[in-house]
Amino acid sequence: MRDARLLVQALRDPDSLHDPDWSALVATARAEQLIGSLAARLAGKAVPPRVEAILESARRDSAYARTQALWEAEMCRRALAPLGMPAILLKGTAFHAADLDAAEGRSVGDLDILVPRDRIEEAEAALIAAGWERMKAAEGYDDQYYRRWMHELPPLIHHTRDRMIDVHHTILPLTARPRPDATALIADSVVLESGLRMLSPADMIVHAAAHLLADGDLAGGLRNLWDIDRLLREFAARDDDFWRKLAERSRLHQLRGPVALALRLARRLYGTPVDRVVAGRTRLGDRLFEARLLARNGWGQERHKALRFAFYIRSHWLRMPPLMLARHLWVKARA
Amino acid sequence: MRHRLAFQVGPVAFRIGSAWRAPIDALGALYAGYPEPEDGICDFTVRLEPEQPWRRWLRPSVAIRGDYMLPDAMPMALAHGLLAAEMGMNLQMALGQKRYLLLHAASVEKGGRSLILTGESGAGKSTLAALLGERGWRLMGDEFALLDLASGALHPFPRAVSLKNGAIAVVEREVIPTRFGPRLDGTPKGAIRHMRPAADALQRMGEGAPPALILFPRFGVAEEVRPVGQAEIFMRLTQASTNYVALGAAGFDALTRLVSETPAAAIDYPDTDAAVALVEDLWRQAA
Amino acid sequence: MAAPRYVADPVEDIRTVALDGLCVLYHARSGATHIVAPPVPEILEALREGPAGAAELLRRLERQFEIEGDGIAARLEELEAAGLVRRA
């Protein structure tokens, strides 16, 4: 297997698998952090006993990831509760807290939350009082870089639970060209049972698209695109007006291009039903993105080094104006 | 990948791919007689590949990669490729095994019941288990013990025994030379030599056994047997497990059951003959 | 400021196994295991009657046990940090 197409096929249409190379499928899924999602998609299907055991282990891992993610969110809620400020869960933790389809089998790394920019230091102090600590590596250049140019505080780590929290005040670095409207993100957020909040459905897609395409080198892209597929299917089924809202919010946050591209890629790879107008017309470059997303073979190895490098350069260019990029690389090189 | 090998150790199937032939040849010789994966499907993938493309030929250095990886793992010399493969397999078990409660422990079996030997690295559990495996016990594993979450039985994981430094000569005295891999000098852990377990360990690798005794051996000290409290045993076993936390309530239930139902002791011993005698003695009392 | 009042998770969220004098707890919500000594299991049990501060909790415990009162507030703070109890 020369690329990750088998994994994409298995997620998109699990019934279409006929005696596939299971070892390759499992290795690719693990490398792309999609083994939990694959296990959820194949639940109840007839698979060989060893595959069932592998998938059962993945389900156990997912259950643990969910417990941990929800617990970190809960401990964060307890720490911030006395401040009475809106705290919005982002990414995987939000999917789990709201029990969205995208949460099925979804692993979660750090806890990401969004708070109003003018209260971010207050939030940081409350978290530190509740046992989170600044990380050593965050001192010096990196710390200043974060505070001046990033969309988040330097990460904090909890001293006994050893889990990280990223406190954001918007969803893209300030150095990036698009300027999402953070006030609108917070104003439109939806309250959850616990009192914590999540982004509105349309904003959640805008954030996922920004995260996939406007902030990073597409590493882990198949997983992020799978999130988008699951979210789009669920939101569109729930709300007849969803596509109009998505068009409006992507314009508001200056992210029409990334949202449209994310929709086209989701349709192309996962067969996601998307609104033709919001997705826009297919462009020549779409195929490059597709090739980059699939650049992984059946041994879990990265393929297409040149293409990967091109996207790496693109990611730094996206985040920083050229002069700042030069300064960043210079400081990094001397470190 | 260009060179590859797949085989089964106990209930776990591995496939190892390598950019070079030598590590696969060495692995094939050491693991002669291990079954191929029953259905051709592997639980884990290990890759031995050049750290950078040009390092395949130029001062070859082996990066240990696979389904589960350590971001800061040091590459190894190609001459130590066999050790790299072993470390890669261990890493998959330590980070990826979620089917059983994994204990960093050696285990042996006699009369249908198993003995768990656990302790810090260098405590001598590998050597002790290897010797017991030549003296009337069945070696179930020298590194990982797999506790079944439902039945509470121990499953064998009889990978090649990893002997280090002084232990190499001790075991060489009792085992025919054809069961040994090459001696690897100057590895990050000193001298290492791998040994294929005895034939019964391989033939019965599918056969589990309920635990009857837990021992915490410590090598190099005057002979002594000390009782250990259950709460301490529980804590030491959680520390000896890489996946206890990830298994959640199932791990808690399996481990509290093991600790509640199984007698345990700490043993200090000055040499391996004393250790074997101590083990036999305690086993008779427990049985 | 009034002394804080606490609540504990319901009994089905915490599995308890006694191992010679000590107690191991599995807390389902956090997935964490705690090894604890008396009076911690008793405090958790007494809190299940309803939210209480340190003083009220001591009164509840004294109905059943001989107990020194001065450590209760400190135990509650530790339990709060571990997430086993939370502010009411």
Q: Which of B248, B252, B259 sits opposite C19 (nearest CB)?
A: B259
Separation of alpha carbons B96 and B101, rounded Å:
11
- CB within 8 Å of chain C, chain A residues 142-201: 160
Q: Does A48 contact chain B (CB < 8 Å)?
A: yes
Q: Is the pLDDT of residue B154 over 80?
A: yes
Our count of domains for chain C comes to: 1
pLDDT of residue A93: 98
* Domain parsing of chain A, residue ranges: 5-334
Q: Is the pLDDT of residue B208 over 60?
A: yes
- CB within 8 Å of chain C, chain B residues 218-247: 229-231, 234-235, 238, 244-245
Q: Taking CA A88 as the corner, what is the angle to CA A192 and CA A111, rounded to the nearest 5 degrees?
A: 105
Q: Which of A64, A71, A160 sits opposite C29 (nearest CB)?
A: A71
> How far is C-alpha A197 from the geometric centre of its chain's CA atoms?
17
Domain boundaries B101-286, CATH class: alpha beta
pLDDT of residue A318: 64
SS3 B1: coil
By DSSP bridging, strand B211-219 and strand B113-118 are parallel
Separation of alpha carbons A95 and A71, rounded Å:
14
Taking a C-beta distance cutoff of 8 angstroms, is the pair B119, B57 a contact?
A: no
pLDDT of residue A285: 87
C77, part of any domain: yes
CA torsion angle B168 B171 B173 B175 (round to 10):
-120
Structure tokens at A178: 């698009």
Structure tokens at B257: 């059951």
Report, as an integer, the average pLDDT of B97-108.
97
- CB within 8 Å of chain B, chain C residues 20-49: 20-22, 24, 26, 28, 31-33, 35
Q: Which string of DSSP letters, residue by residue, matches A139-171?
A: STHHHHHHHHHSSBPPPEEETTT--EEEEESSS
Please give the residue that has the higher pLDDT: either A304 or B212.
B212
C1, part of any domain: no
pLDDT of residue A152: 78
Q: Name the residue type at position B1.
A: M
Report, as an integer, the average pLDDT of A299-312.
82
pLDDT of residue A335: 47
Burial of B96 (0-12, 13-18, 19+ CB in 10 A): buried
Separation of alpha carbons A35 and A28, rounded Å:
8
Q: Which residue in this structure is represented by tokens 């954030």?
A: A207
Q: Is the pLDDT of residue B149 over 80?
A: yes
Q: How many CB pairs under 8 A join A and C?
A: 20
Contact A27 B45 (CB under 8 A): yes
Neighbours of A318 (CB within 10 A): 21
Report, as an integer, the average pLDDT of A36-55.
97
Expressed as residue numbers, the domain containing C45 is 6-87
ipTM for this prediction: 0.94
Nearest chain B alpha carbon to A67: B248
Residue A325's pLDDT band, with cuts at 50, 70 and 90, is: low
Give the residue from A308, A310, A270 showing the smallest Cα distance to A292: A308
pLDDT of residue A305: 78
Residue A9 to residues A6, A38, A123, A329, Cα–Cα distance (Å) = 5, 11, 43, 39
- Give A68 to chain C, closest Cα distance, Å: 6
SS (H, E, C) chain C: CCCCCEEECCHHHEEEEEECCEEEEEECCCCEEEEECCCHHHHHHHHCCCCECHHHHHHHHHCCCCCCCCCHHHHHHHHHHHCCEEEC
Q: Which residue in this structure is represented by tokens 């130029």?
A: B58
Report, as an integer, the average pLDDT of A326-333.
60
Q: Does A98 contact chain B (CB < 8 Å)?
A: no
Against chain A, the chains showing at least 3 CB pairs within 8 Å are B, C
Structure tokens at B119: 């302790």
Q: Taking CA A59 as the corner, what is the angle to CA A56 and CA A63, rounded to the nearest 5 degrees?
A: 145
β-bridge partners, B225:
B267
Separation of alpha carbons B50 and B64, rounded Å:
9
Separation of alpha carbons A288 and A269, rounded Å:
13
Taking a C-beta distance cutoff of 8 angstroms, is the pair B38, B15 a contact?
A: no
Against chain B, the chains showing at least 3 CB pairs within 8 Å are A, C
SS3 B136: coil
Sorted by sequence, the CB contacts under 8 Å of residue A157 that are 6+ apart come out as A132, A133, A135, A163, A164, A165
Reported as a single tens digit per residue, the pLDDT across C4-15 is: 899 998 888 999
Contact A50 B99 (CB under 8 A): no
SS3 A89: strand
Domain boundaries A5-334, CATH class: alpha beta
Reported as a single tens digit per residue, the pLDDT across C22-72 is: 999 999 999 999 999 888 999 999 999 999 999 999 999 999 888 777 788
Separation of alpha carbons B178 and B183, rounded Å:
13
Contact B234 C24 (CB under 8 A): yes
Sorted by sequence, the CB contacts under 8 Å of residue A36 that are 6+ apart come out as A58, A59, A61, A62, A65, A104, A105, A106, A107
Q: Which of C31, C81, C86 sits opposite A71 (nearest CB)?
A: C31
Separation of alpha carbons A84 and A80, rounded Å:
7
Q: Enumerate the residues of chain C whose CB falls inside 8 A of the CB of residue B253.
A: 15
Sorted by sequence, the CB contacts under 8 Å of residue A104 that are 6+ apart come out as A36, A37, A40, A62, A230
Q: Is the pLDDT of residue B143 over 70?
A: yes
pLDDT of residue C11: 86
Report, as an integer, the average pLDDT of B198-202.
97
Q: Is the pLDDT of residue B167 over 60?
A: yes
Separation of alpha carbons A20 and B39, rounded Å:
12
Taking a C-beta distance cutoff of 8 angstroms, is the pair A214, A176 a contact?
A: yes
Q: Enumerate the residues of chain B whose CB falls inside 8 A of the CB of residue C22.
A: 229, 231
State percent of chain A over pLDDT 90. 76
Please give the residue that has the higher pLDDT: either B286 or A320.
B286
By DSSP bridging, strand B61-66 and strand B76-77 are antiparallel
Least confident window among A316-330, B7-21, B189-203, B258-272: A316-330
Q: Which of C28, C31, C83 sits opposite A75 (nearest CB)?
A: C83
SS3 A181: coil
Q: Is the pLDDT of residue B57 over 80?
A: no
Q: Name the residue type at position A303.
A: R
Taking a C-beta distance cutoff of 8 angstroms, is the pair B227, B166 a contact?
A: no
SS3 A24: helix
Structure tokens at B178: 């054809």
Q: Is the pLDDT of residue B195 over 70?
A: yes
Report, as an integer, the average pLDDT of A225-247.
98
Taking a C-beta distance cutoff of 8 angstroms, is the pair A239, A245 a contact?
A: yes
pLDDT of residue C88: 87
Q: Is the pLDDT of residue A333 over 70?
A: no
Q: Is the pLDDT of residue A139 over 60?
A: no
pLDDT of residue A136: 67
Burial of A284 (0-12, 13-18, 19+ CB in 10 A): exposed
β-bridge partners, B104:
B144
C31, part of any domain: yes
Residue A317's pLDDT band, with cuts at 50, 70 and 90, is: low
pLDDT of residue A160: 93
Reported as a single tens digit per residue, the pLDDT across B29-45 is: 999 999 999 889 999 99
C54, part of any domain: yes
**E-strand spans in chain B?**
3-9, 12-18, 44-50, 61-66, 76-77, 101-110, 113-118, 138-141, 144-147, 154-155, 161-164, 180-187, 190-195, 211-219, 224-227, 264-269
* Domain parsing of chain B, residue ranges: 3-96, 101-286
β-bridge partners, B108:
B115, B139
Residue B121's pLDDT band, with cuts at 50, 70 and 90, is: confident
SS3 B108: strand
Report, as an integer, the average pLDDT of A196-215.
94
Neighbours of B202 (CB within 10 A): 18
Q: Does B260 contact chain C (CB < 8 Å)?
A: yes
Q: Is the pLDDT of residue A6 over 50?
A: yes
pLDDT of residue A135: 82
Residue A38's pLDDT band, with cuts at 50, 70 and 90, is: very high
Q: Which of C17, C20, C31 sits opposite B248 (nearest CB)?
A: C31
Q: Is the pLDDT of residue B181 over 90?
A: yes
